[in-house]
Chain A
Amino acid sequence: MQQSFINELRNIVGEQYTLADRESLAVYGYDSTPELESLPGAVVLPGSGEEVARIMALCHGAGVSVTPRGSGTNLSGGSLSVNSGVVVQTSRLNRIVEIDEENLTATVEPGVITSALHREVESRGLFYPPDPGSMNISTMGGNVAENSGGLRGLKYGVTADYVMGLETVLADGTVLRSGGKVVKDVAGYSLNPLLVSSEGTLGFFTGITVKLIPRPRSKVTMLAHFPALQDAALAVSAIIAAKVIPATLEILDRVTIRCVEEYAHVGLPLDVDAVLLIEVDGHPAVTAEEALAVEEICKRYRSSFFQTAATADEALKLATARRTALSALARLKPTTILEDATVPRSCIAPMLQVIQAAAAKHNVTIGTFGHAGDGNLHPTCLTDERDQDEIKRAHAAFEEIFDAAIAMGGTITGEHGVGIAKKKYLPRLVGESGIRVMRGIKNAFDPKGILNPGKVF
């Protein structure tokens, strides 16, 4: 990258927040996606939305690409610059601008950490449900750009269900304001749903207004063991069919159970095929009733062990197995490939069978855990990047898993985004017309193609 251009960036954000030395660029060449690396030409950390607009205008004029980055926890390569462009890190834009308790909204800057928003609104008896696994470090800007989900998706939905208003810097540095605090708004096209999950390819968010809801007054946590996978899947369907919508309905498969038990010794039996972690929340009278219904259903479907937490501490203990799933798996091998194939929830059992068959066929270890309630599974392949043959087999197994997900009416990614990692699968899912429409939208927003190029398609 030319020194004169770097100097211009420096004039906007200051010396301290413009990075172009080899060492800095080296550590902005990755995010949380395994195997992917691509060095940017420069990294800047703007301190205001106005600085973002000036950076964008500068890059637009010079034809230099801009890739937004929060904390770099993206799992599809979305925060990497593929053509030595400018990475714009949002961390300094970290103010919670307003909590509006009358309109039940929160307005934040894009660098606000998700769990920081949780703490702030919960201290006022309010609730912002999306809780991605990385919520202690993920940023709100990244959550909106990727439409992040989380454990509470089944009952409460995903980030898109909470975004009400956006302030977006467009490719040329002008500012677009869409939506706001109104619940009803049919003026013109709905731009928010388009911008949510655009993965940084349509604009750069500088202001985000999200919907809040009252904090649930009570929660009941339950854990059920199932000797047969099929029974666990049937129990999931039966719970929903009984019109109980748990806040959390998570599954761990046999490989994951073994890893968790070996690592955390939480008392899981090694001879069961699946464990379900179930949480119902809401009014105390309702949760008590729902918990009883869940227990009855699990027992009907031959759960070999069922426990309801009596205290908050016990609830934490029960949730330990699920919370340590990724750690337990990740410790086994150096490289962990975490995917997010998603199917209609009625297909959870066949999907788990597909995953196990693919792992066996390609001789790789895949542990699966995830959000059984909303069909969003995390098949996690434990491998070693130094073993190229095994890496190849892992990708072959995932290819079969994604194709099966598409065939079942599901999707290649439920919450991690397409980014670079899943580009080749997107046409299989959305078809030629889907890609054509998406390209048309991209061109309307960013005719010069400077916004996070190389992603999605």
Chain B
Amino acid sequence: MDYVKLINCMRCGMCLPSCPTYKETFLETASPRGRVALVRKVQEGELDQSERLLEYLSLCLDCQACASACPCGVNAGELVAEFTCERKESLGLGFMEELVLRRLVPHPDRLEGSMTPLRAYQKTGLQKLVRKLGVLKMFPKKLERMEGLLPELPARPLRQEIMEVTPAAGTERGTVGFFLGCVMSLIFSEASRATINLLSSLGYRVITPRSQVCCGAPNMLGGDLEGLKEAARTNIDIFAGYDLDFIVTDCGGCGAELKKYGHHLPGDPAAEAFGAKVRDIAQVLALHSGDLAPRLQPVDLKVTYHDPCHIAHCQGIRREPRELLRLVPGLTYAELAEADSCCGSAGTYNIARPGMSDRILHRKLANIAASGAEVLVTGNPGCLLQLRKGLADHLPHVRIMHLTELLARSAGLA
């Protein structure tokens, strides 16, 4: 951990109003400034890595809203994540981490295979029965939460269905690589199909290498830096095999991680080059808004947009999604209050810290209700899972869509 990054914090407090957990608790230990101070005091030997200290740090969502707010470029969320990752790494991977991060996540076939029982569980009607009987109440709370978050799964993951090369519709303007996020492919495959269709309709040949692996973000979370680097090297090699204008993803979390490959593999020019080519889908579509606009048919809906942390704070993308939504004729756009404040999903946070996650979710839901929107648009699968469930439970009249689903529908591509 770089000590200078810690002492760069001048404790001005500008991060406090941006931090979802500070807004809920008003506690300095639950603020970015406080977290930087805690990590710094550990580095300086003034505090031990006590259980309480780790508990305080674990309340951080790593949403990085604090980084957007910081006047001197400190990223408290990232510092806490690095500290936690280094600490976990020094302890070694546990049995479950080893199993999931090394034997499951890096192998798309196995990961997809692991979903088969879940699909069967939904298809056979067992899910309905289980939910009706409340069987899950007998199992640990976490399992019940995980089960509740799961929407209806597509018949097959997109990775297995999509052609490796989708030709450009009409005149070809270039070639892009498509990075399939695990959750997008497994759960929101319709949205990713819409993404590919939009790219193709705008004249891009879309290459979706079937051998690509998970971006490595779960490894970072689990303290498996080596696994993350391995994933990075694999993906860099695979995409280096094509001559690409961009590497596009419609998963905010993957995009943020892929753009950091150069940071994870310092001194590796291929990693730098890879990172520099990565674009969120909204960035690419916004480049061609002039071509896109005439294809869009009226969508008579009131729509609002939730900024995923991994898109707004980690990648600095805020303007493009809004511009794209405003292109759609008939669509009424209503800005969401605190639009770039986390929804409480935050990777596995909604499972690990359900209490705080729910408080943050409810704040978000209240803002969505106040916007009067009928459709909530966003761009990250974690947010889609969390908010889909939140809306279904509390605001059932509001639908949720990925940005590309709405645009593809308007363009007649869905």
Contacts and interface: CB of A to CB of B under 8 A. Distances in A.
Interface stretch (A19-27, A167-175, A278-286): A19-27
B46 A334 contact: no
Nearest to B36: A27
Contacts of A136: 14, 17
Given A23-B50, A27-B29, A331-B72, A134 B4 contact: no
A21 B28 CA distance: 13
Contacts of A113: 17
A91 interface: yes
B98 to A, nearest CB: 31
Q: Tell me the dominant secondary structure on chain A's binding face.
A: loop
A71 B13 contact: yes
A30 interface: yes
B26 A89 contact: yes
Contacts of B289: none
A336 B70 CA distance: 14
Nearest to B70: A327
A385 B28 contact: no
A71 B27 CA distance: 10
Nearest to A326: B71
Contacts of B71: 326-327, 330-331
B13 A134 contact: yes
B52 interface: yes
A421 to B, nearest CB: 14
Given A23-B53, A26-B47, A89-B26, A73 B17 contact: no
Contacts of A22: 47, 50, 52
Contacts of B16: 71, 137
B12 interface: yes
A367 to B, nearest CB: 14
Contacts of A404: none
Contacts of A334: 4, 7-8, 10
A136 B34 CA distance: 18
A45 B26 CA distance: 9
B47 A23 contact: yes
A100 to B, nearest CB: 25
Nearest to A28: B28
B103 interface: no
Interface residues of B, number: 29
Contacts, number: 82
A410 interface: no
Contacts of B7: 334-335, 385-386
B11 interface: yes
B41 interface: yes
A31 B17 CA distance: 15
A193 to B, nearest CB: 27
A10 interface: no
B38 interface: yes
B10 A34 contact: yes
A31 B26 contact: no
A426 B193 CA distance: 69
Nearest to B53: A23
Given A23-B38, A27-B29, A330 B17 contact: no
Contacts of B72: 327, 330-331, 336
Given A22-B47, A336-B72, A91 B13 contact: no
B113 interface: no
A324 to B, nearest CB: 8
Contacts of A32: 10-13
B182 to A, nearest CB: 36
A118 interface: no
B37 A30 contact: yes
A208 B327 CA distance: 47
Interface string B224-252: 00000000000000000000000000000
Contacts of B41: 26
Given A137-B16, A336-B72, A24 B10 contact: no
B83 interface: no
Given A32-B11, A331-B72, A334-B4, A26 B52 contact: no
Interface string B1-37: 0001001101111101100000000111101011001
A68 interface: no
A336 B7 CA distance: 11
Contacts of B333: none
Nearest to A334: B7
Interface string A1-39: 000000000000000000101111011101110100000
Contact of B28 (A27, A134, A331): A27
Nearest to A45: B26
B355 to A, nearest CB: 13
B47 A137 contact: no
B37 A92 contact: no
A335 B37 CA distance: 14
Contact of B17 (A24, A27, A30, A137): A137
Given A91-B26, A330-B72, A336 B17 contact: no
Given A136-B14, A326-B71, A26 B8 contact: no
A72 interface: yes
Interface string A80-91: 000000000101
Contacts of A34: 10-11
B23 to A, nearest CB: 10
A19 B28 CA distance: 11
Contacts of B14: 134, 136-137
7 contacts: A22-B52, A23-B29, A23-B38, A26-B37, A27-B34, A30-B37, A327-B71
Given A24-B29, A92-B26, A334-B4, 8 more contacts: A22-B52, A26-B37, A26-B46, A27-B33, A32-B12, A89-B26, A334-B7, A386-B7
Which 9 residue pairs across A and B have the least CB separation, nearest first?
A327-B71, A91-B26, A330-B72, A27-B34, A73-B13, A27-B28, A334-B7, A137-B16, A137-B17
Interface of B: 4, 7-8, 10-14, 16-17, 26-29, 31, 33-34, 37-38, 41, 46-47, 50, 52-53, 56, 71-73
